[in-house]
Structure 1
Amino acid sequence: MSFAIYPSLEDQCVVVTGGGSGIGAAMVEAFAQQGARVFFLDVADADSQQLEQTLARERHAPKYLHCDLRDTAAIEQSFDAIASEAGRIDVLVNNAANDDRHQWDNVSATYWDERMAVNLRHQFFCAQAAAQRMRTQRRGSIINMGSISWHLALPELTLYMTAKAAIEGLTRGLARDLGEHGIRVNTVIPGAVRTPRQMKLWQSPESEARLLAQQCLHERIDPEHIARMVLFLASDDAARCTAREYYVDAGWFGA
């Protein structure tokens, strides 16, 4: 199967959060194959360093920066380092998240704050850091990763769904405020994606069968399918796309 080439992504500086594994790693690889200069933030050192090695032969070898996204000072330091090395930031993909299950009656204030820091707060502060550089260029693309979960009201994910619902509001607000600087902001909403983590922790043959039956397309979604939508939204082909949500869920929601 062949996929689109986006000339406008060549040599662009792209930042991907949570890029060391899963969907994030697929994005890092996809952008690198387009000739982009990719920097990815994560705390999973082993996975991230392995990804660097795997993609070392690309025209621009992706670069890993260890960054705890719960630390706003670390976010600013990372974006300073990227902008200093690359001279600009053209694309931000706010991908990092964690969908740990939890029981509503066991949630403490401390756990609430930690889940919001992991799944929501960093998306704003990464966007803030990126947009401060993008506005001098009068262009840029910020892509926030949402989730199908809150649209479907899935169980044992109340805090995760709260954060992911808020991300769609965050996208709309930033799109309005940043549009005057030529910066586009969109949300990609993945369905059930077949990542190693999902397959290890949450999926079984029975749940797989139920999932496929509920989707309009009875095919599994892989990380590369999410990456392909992100490439489009990052490119000049999507020059008039902003403040919107783009589903990649094989027709699960609303089926």
Structure 2
Amino acid sequence: MSNATFHDLKGKSVFITGGGSGIGASLTEGFLRQGAKVGFIGKSDATEFCDRMEQETGTRPLFVQGDITDTPVLQQAIRTVSEAHGPVNILVNNAANDQRHQTLDVTEEFWDWSQAVNLRAYFFACQAVIPEMQKAGGGSIVNFSSTSYMMGNGGYPAYTAANGGITAMTRSLARDFGPDRIRVNAIAPGWVLTERQLEKWATKEALEAHLERQCLKDHMKPQDVVEAVQFLSSDTSRMMTGQCIAVDGGVVTVAA
């Protein structure tokens, strides 16, 4: 449950990439509970998740199945949601893939795929919603970056390169479209313990080592990120744009 109510999110049209699993599913639920109309794109079937959200929140999110690396499919999904819910007021670029890889093993195909998932799709989702936001007199875009590149993490250089690019792109778009009252911010989560993280990398030793680096000695949950995204989406943060906010328990502070 949310610790805060953002009254101005009620009735807003929200589009989330990857909104049916992981942090994305928590984002979808969080916005529904704020009274927003939520649409999302996802590669895997999310019908069961939508059924559960309708039962638990009283509102069914609009799911469009598709691959965000297919730009026409992604932009058509945004149009579909806009037709159903009204022009998108809030875009959350959440979908990403942090598959581990070694520099000497990376092929051009893998590099291009990683950038397509983790950076290119963000740009073209922004491109699709900006004209609608301009006509509406404003809007909010929240791009998911990561603290991984800020910390100089190894083991996935294509992913960290994309996340550095997301932060840079966020600042440029904020500058270009600020006169239209379109705010563009980024959020950089720390290690959020989703099912994927717990299954693949969250060993007891890794968790203990990471917690040692955090200022705040609690493991992060998806809800910690959801409320930060809602803050950036709401007019509560109306004079914030071009920012990248780390929500990581203080790891970056320690690493710096």
Residue 141 of structure 1: aligned partner: 140
Structure 2: distance between partners of 1:146 and 1:2: 23
- 1:86 Cα deviation (Å)? 1.6
1:214-229 matches, within 5 Å, as 214-229=213-228
Structure 1: distance between partners of 2:82 and 2:208: 46
Q: Percent identity?
A: 37
Please tell me whether residue 103 in structure 1 is matched to residue 111 in structure 2.
no
1:83-94 matches, within 5 Å, as 83-94=82-93
Structure 2: distance between partners of 1:75 and 1:21: 17
1:99–1:160 Cα contact (<8 Å) kept: yes
Residue 5 of structure 1: aligned partner: 5
- 1:50 Cα deviation (Å)? 2.1
Residue 36 of structure 1: aligned partner: 36
Question: Deviations for 1:57-107, whole angstroms, at most 9, x for unmatched residues?
Answer: 324321111121111111121111111112211000000000000010011
Is the partner of 2:98 in helix, strand or coil? coil
Structure 2 CA distance for partners of 1:221 and 1:56, relative to 1, 3 Å: same
Supply the AA of the counterpart residue of 2:54.
Answer: A
Structure 2: distance between partners of 1:205 and 1:136: 51
Structure 2 CA distance for partners of 1:2 and 1:55, relative to 1, 3 Å: closer
1:35–1:59 Cα contact (<8 Å) kept: no
Is the partner of 1:217 in helix, strand or coil? coil
- 1:20 Cα deviation (Å)? 1.1
Residue 20 of structure 1: aligned partner: 20
- 1:7 Cα deviation (Å)? 0.9
Structure 2 CA distance for partners of 1:17 and 1:2, relative to 1, 3 Å: closer
Please tell me whether residue 121 in structure 1 is matched to residue 120 in structure 2.
yes
Residue 56 of structure 1: aligned partner: 54
Question: Deviations for 1:230-250, whole angstroms, at most 9, x for unmatched residues?
Answer: 001101111111000111100
Q: TM-score, normalised by structure 1?
A: 0.97
The number of aligned residues is: 253
CA RMSD of aligned residues (A): 1.1
Residue 78 of structure 1: aligned partner: 77
- 1:36 Cα deviation (Å)? 0.2
1:15–1:39 Cα contact (<8 Å) kept: yes
- 1:2 Cα deviation (Å)? 5.7
Structure 2 CA distance for partners of 1:197 and 1:2, relative to 1, 3 Å: closer
Supply the AA of the counterpart residue of 1:219.
Answer: D
1:150–1:165 Cα contact (<8 Å) kept: yes
2:62–2:81 Cα contact (<8 Å) kept: no
Is the partner of 2:252 in helix, strand or coil? coil
